[in-house]
């Protein structure tokens, strides 16, 4: 299992904030991680490191702030 280089900072050079984690011994694989509602881009990183320990990880942050985190889509409130 590869070690990853230090903590990753939030990058903002794309149209969305994200973190990039590269293992010290990269395999050439890359996983793009999209989290669920109410969390952030770091939520899936531990699982991804177990699934593909030698893959580079791109963990994107949802664009819409929520109480305890972020989400990707506006919440739709049903009307009657």
Lowest mean pLDDT among 46-50, 66-70, 76-80: 76-80
Asked if the model's pLDDT at residue 8 lies above 90, the reply is: no
The strand pairing partners of 3, in sequence order, are: none
pLDDT of 14-56, one tens digit each?
Answer: 888 999 998 888 889 999 999 988 899 999 999 999 999 999 9
Residue 20 vs residues 30, 39, 63, 73, 77: alpha-carbon distances, Å: 10, 17, 17, 22, 34
User: Of 41, 53, 39, 46, which is closest to residue 9 (Cα–Cα)?
Assistant: 41
The whole-model pTM stands at 0.79
CB 70 within 8 A of CB 34: no
* Residue 3 CB neighbours (<10 A): 10
């Amino acid at each position: 299992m590869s070690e990853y280089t230090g903590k990753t900072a939030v990058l903002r050079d794309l149209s969305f904030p994200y973190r990039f984690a590269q293992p010290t011994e990269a395999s050439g694989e890359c996983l793009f991680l999209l989290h669920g509602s109410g969390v952030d881009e770091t939520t899936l990183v531990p699982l991804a490191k177990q699934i593909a320990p030698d893959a580079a990880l791109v963990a994107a942050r949802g664009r819409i702030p929520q109480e305890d985190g972020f989400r990707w889509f506006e919440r739709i409130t049903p009307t009657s």
